[in-house]
Chains A and B, each alone.
Chain A
């Protein structure tokens, strides 16, 4: 019984450690950052760089993510984008606002790193057509919510930022792993029922 309890404790610890893997952090300037380093052994800088470039150009519509700057000598690419955040409940869900961000990818031999930062919140409001739209002119850096965003709301928005950052990271990983896998032009397989 004691051994079984010990096993359960370790399972829980392993789970907790895994849950912390995709956390937001503060960078050296005290700005929220989602930062990852990914090993990609055996792949040349050029290959990884071209895949990252392809990611910026095709992974999302330009309204969601666009390429701003490329420095092939330094192996870095920088872009900017936005995603929606909301406070979700059991039955209702609508956009509370959008969060803009900048994204940078640095390439080295056999590995790359990326981060999302400069998270700025733009609140949405209900319009007359029952759609939620941006309130123009209100832009709040998530590091400076004091007096502008309530604590409970901020926690929900940060969770949204983390979820969206993780999704972007996962999509980048797909592109960086194998470009051909991105082009999902898989036709329907033909099978002959005559010979078996």
Chain B
């Protein structure tokens, strides 16, 4: 009797549930909700590996990273943690490997980002710590770049700036950042601070962001200080259609005490031919001031995605003037003004 009663109760509950559903829903697609639980700590990162073949048989192109020729080599493993509670957040990002070593001037130091931030209001944010630079189009993390090799502008500009900055968003279309940073780029401490305690936080940095139309953002950057010099930088990208994007980076740098500098411009057109495959070109002109010569570089890159894995085949052709400092040599070891290379890289981001 008890079992029969139980059976009837379950049957009635089933029918009642089904009836309630049928009365309120249109045709069903069968999608049901996944359990939602935000992790308290966000963990992300990437690893990358590559094979490079310079057509001369030895490395020529002097830009950052991916330097080993005719070798299956590695970039870096990048591990990042971040957390935000209310208005306060932190990011800590560690990296290990040749790419990490070449991106950080302090030996044995493995931090790419370490900063804390606080949203004073919805529009006003304060951030302090050691941060990737706000200058330039390309970044250290291979997961943040389209091309695997890097530009001369990226290689010559700052990688990181340690300091304190305030950002105010006037609207979705305009924001302004201003901050004070350590006197030397890339280091986590100011010049001589460790040795004499007399370092200083004397570099001024500012960034004006404007988004004139939907899909177009532009950043006008300034970093200036008596120790590291002054760089003006324009970084902009316009997603003209869902498939086509055009990026531009232009910069001019003046070293302190009339010590020369550089200037250049790079274009980054990219077209997605499917959700998996995108083709892109980087065309760069880079000039060293005070008759230091110039170089033109064309890089053709594809990104082929398989979930979190991106395979990056890339060919690159550089042509320099006689006065340009880098020494290109051909397969016979003779001086030349041309260098070219092929890279096949794989970047896994999570």
Asked if A and B bind, the verdict is yes
Please give the residue numbers on chain A whose beta carbons come within 8 Å of chain B beta carbons, in ascending order: 3-4, 6-7, 10-11, 13-14, 17-27, 32-33, 35-37, 61, 63, 88-89, 91-94, 125-131, 135-140, 147-150, 152, 155-156, 158-160, 162-164, 166-167
Q: Does B33 contact A (CB under 8 A)?
A: yes
7 residue pairs, one from A and one from B, having the closest CB atoms? A137-B215, A137-B239, A128-B132, A14-B14, A159-B34, A10-B10, A128-B139
| CB neighbors of A among B63-106 (8 A) | 80, 82, 91, 93
Max chain B C-beta neighbours (<10 A), residue from A63, A129, A160 = A129
Q: Does B194 contact A (CB under 8 A)?
A: no
CA distance A7 to B12 in the complex (A): 12
Contact across chains for A93 and B42 when beta carbons are under 8 A apart: yes
| CB neighbors of A among B112-131 (8 A) | 112-113, 115, 122, 131
Contact across chains for B91 and A130 when beta carbons are under 8 A apart: yes
Contact across chains for B113 and A130 when beta carbons are under 8 A apart: yes
- Contact with A17, one of B18, B29, B82, B350 (Cβ below 8 angstroms): B18
Contact across chains for B14 and A138 when beta carbons are under 8 A apart: no
Nearest CB in chain B to that of A140: its residue:
B242
Q: Which residues of A contact B25 (CB under 8 A)?
A: 20-21, 23, 25, 35
- Given contacts A23-B28, A126-B144, 19 further A-B pairs with CB under 8 A are A3-B3, A20-B28, A22-B32, A92-B43, A93-B43, A94-B44, A125-B144, A128-B140, A129-B113, A130-B93, A136-B211, A139-B242, A149-B275, A150-B275, A152-B307, A155-B31, A159-B33, A162-B31, A163-B34
CA distance A63 to B123 in the complex (A): 12
Contact across chains for A13 and B14 when beta carbons are under 8 A apart: yes
Contact across chains for A150 and B21 when beta carbons are under 8 A apart: no
- Contact with A131, one of B13, B91, B217, B240 (Cβ below 8 angstroms): B91
> Measured between C-beta atoms, what is the minimum distance from A55 to chain B in Å?
19
CA distance A178 to B35 in the complex (A): 27
Q: Does B220 contact A (CB under 8 A)?
A: no
* B interface size (C-beta, 8 A): 65
Given contacts A20-B28, A126-B44, A136-B217, contact A163 B36 (CB under 8 A): yes
Q: Which residues of A contact B26 (CB under 8 A)?
A: 25-27, 33, 35
Given contacts A10-B10, A126-B144, contact A37 B23 (CB under 8 A): yes
Q: Which residues of B contact A164 (CB under 8 A)?
A: 36
- Encode B309-329 as 1/0 by CB contact (under 8 A) with A: 000000000000000000000
Q: Does B290 contact A (CB under 8 A)?
A: no
Contact across chains for A128 and B43 when beta carbons are under 8 A apart: no
> Measured between C-beta atoms, what is the minimum distance from B179 to chain A in Å?
13
- Contact with A129, one of B24, B27, B132 (Cβ below 8 angstroms): B132
> Measured between C-beta atoms, what is the minimum distance from A21 to chain B in Å?
5
Contact across chains for A21 and B17 when beta carbons are under 8 A apart: yes
Given contacts A21-B17, A126-B143, A163-B36, contact A131 B82 (CB under 8 A): yes
Contact across chains for A129 and B91 when beta carbons are under 8 A apart: yes
Given contacts A92-B43, A128-B141, A149-B275, contact A14 B10 (CB under 8 A): yes
CA distance A88 to B17 in the complex (A): 30
CA distance A162 to B33 in the complex (A): 6
Q: Which residues of B contact A160 (CB under 8 A)?
A: 34, 36
> Measured between C-beta atoms, what is the minimum distance from B223 to chain A in Å?
14
Q: Which residues of A contact B144 (CB under 8 A)?
A: 125-128
Q: Which residues of A contact B39 (CB under 8 A)?
A: 88, 93
Contact across chains for B14 and A137 when beta carbons are under 8 A apart: no
Q: Which residues of A contact B242 (CB under 8 A)?
A: 137-140, 148
Max chain A C-beta neighbours (<10 A), residue from B10, B113, B216 = B10
Q: Does B259 contact A (CB under 8 A)?
A: no
Nearest CB in chain A to that of B23: its residue:
A37
Contact across chains for A137 and B31 when beta carbons are under 8 A apart: no
